[in-house]
């Protein structure tokens, strides 16, 4: 295993290279196909994933990788060792297809069910968020290189509560919950950037009463936790990863969750979901 700093840099390089390839597709008139679950997929998803897998295989050949497109093709690794990577090469494909900029490259390392390291890169926006040895940081990316970094942390809410919600997959249950907790300002955004807006102190809460997969959430969740927040499951427990053999859903499918910008805020909403 590389040192933490080396891992940070390798994951960053993998994300940047994948993002460069994704943007080269974004600028063209690309075709859109659909998987068995009716979700869209493009050559950008596949090419970005190949780049990331190459980096991970080179540096950590003994750590299994659960990657969205590979799993969709039936390639599901054994994660019984408890440590594995989760990869979504293009989170927010629907945003990508609709020519919106809030799509991301997600890479996360999970240990014993907890996302302990990760990066979220939004190539069209020129910004990345990642875990560090001492917390979390936001990076400004220009021409494929990080030109500025700044430490980030979740804010302590004062006054009105700001929530983030899915742009493409919002639900009536989510709207009802936001009304229940008194969220007065709602920011709609796609992809795992919702976690990052909590991590950098822009917003306070992100409820998701809809289906997601672990590769959708792990990287953003890792950044959020490193910045002082937490994601909770319907039982009020810290959200876990590596969910296989589920009776009522497929492997790696998530239940509903609520992510909070400051973990201690959730104590006031213990019956949240």
Query: Residues forming the annotated binding site?
Result: 68, 88, 90-93, 216
Over the Cα atoms of the chain, what is R_g?
Answer: 17
Q: Which residues are annotated as a binding site for Mg(2+)?
A: 68, 88, 90-91, 216
| Residue set of the binding site for substrate | 68, 90-93, 216
Q: Where does residue 68 fall: left (phi above 0), alpha (psi -120 to 50 degrees), or beta otherwise? A: alpha
Q: Determine the Cα–Cα distance for residues 232 and 185; give it in Å rounded to an integer.
A: 21
131 touches 45 (CB < 8 A)? no
Contact 218, 86 (CB under 8 A): yes
Place of tokens 């809410």: 157
| DSSP string across 185-229 | EEEEE-TTHHHHHHHTTS-SEEEE-S-EEHHHHHHHHHHHHHTT-
How far apart CA 138 and CA 162 sit, in angstroms, is 20
Backbone angles phi, psi at 266, to 5 degrees: -65, -20
Pairing of strands 83-91, 65-67: parallel
Is residue 42 within 8 Å of 93, Cβ to Cβ? yes
């Amino acid at each position: 295993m590389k040192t933490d700093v080396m891992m940070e840099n390798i994951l960053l390089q993998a994300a940047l290279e994948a993002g460069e390839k994704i943007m080269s597709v974004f600028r063209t008139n690309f075709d859109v196909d659909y998987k068995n679950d009716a979700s869209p997929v493009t050559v950008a998803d596949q090419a970005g994933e190949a780049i990331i897998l190459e980096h991970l295989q080179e540096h950590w050949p003994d750590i299994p990788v659960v990657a969205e497109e590979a799993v969709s093709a039936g390639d599901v690794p054994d994660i019984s060792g408890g440590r594995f990577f989760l990869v979504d090469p293009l989170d927010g494909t629907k945003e990508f297809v609709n020519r919106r900029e809030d799509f991301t490259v997600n890479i996360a390392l999970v240990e014993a069910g907890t996302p302990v390291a990760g990066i979220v890169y939004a190539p069209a926006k020129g910004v990345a968020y990642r875990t560090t040895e001492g917390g979390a940081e936001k990076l400004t990316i220009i021409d494929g290189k990080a030109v500025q970094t700044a430490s980030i942390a979740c804010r302590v809410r004062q006054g009105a509560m700001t929530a983030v919600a899915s742009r493409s997959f919002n639900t009536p249950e989510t709207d009802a919950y936001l009304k229940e907790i008194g969220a007065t300002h709602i920011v709609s955004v796609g992809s795992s950037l919702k976690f990052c807006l909590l991590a950098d102190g822009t917003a306070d809460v992100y409820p998701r009463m809809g289906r997601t997969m672990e590769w959708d959430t792990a990287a953003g969740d890792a950044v959020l936790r490193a910045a002082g927040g937490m994601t909770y499951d319907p039982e009020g427990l810290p959200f876990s990863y590596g969910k296989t053999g589920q009776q009522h859903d497929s492997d790696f499918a998530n239940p509903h969750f609520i992510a909070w910008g400051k973990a201690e805020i959730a104590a006031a909403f213990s019956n949240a979901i």
